[in-house]
Structure 1
């Protein structure tokens, strides 16, 4: 599945949630999807958790 098709699918799901369940359910689903995307990137190895933690602790990284 391409990123464009995935984006269309995600937009359709969010639109349906907003229409059927309301604004706050939409916000909840949006946040849950964002958390899922971050977890997926961590599992795929696209996000280096150690570097991210170091950045939040104020450590500098030039790599």
Structure 2
């Protein structure tokens, strides 16, 4: 069985919903932020994230002219 975007989304949804049920909103938000940071670090390590493009996006610069 291979990991697809759908299965990954289901797993993320399950983790977040169980965290919300068990601990409440703020811990759930913390887990969601930690998962997003982990995903960004993973993409950076894999070489699938261009940091310069990401910084430009946060500065409001457009990637296409």
When residues 20 and 47 of structure 1 are mapped into structure 2, their CA distance, relative to the original with a 3 A threshold, is same
**TM-score under structure 2 normalisation?**
0.76
Equivalence map 1:18-57=2 (5 Å): 18-53=20-55, 55=56
**TM-score under structure 1 normalisation?**
0.79
Unaligned runs of 5+ in 2: none
Unaligned runs of 5+ in 1: none
Count of residue pairs brought into register by the alignment: 61
The offset of 1:50, in angstroms, is 3.9
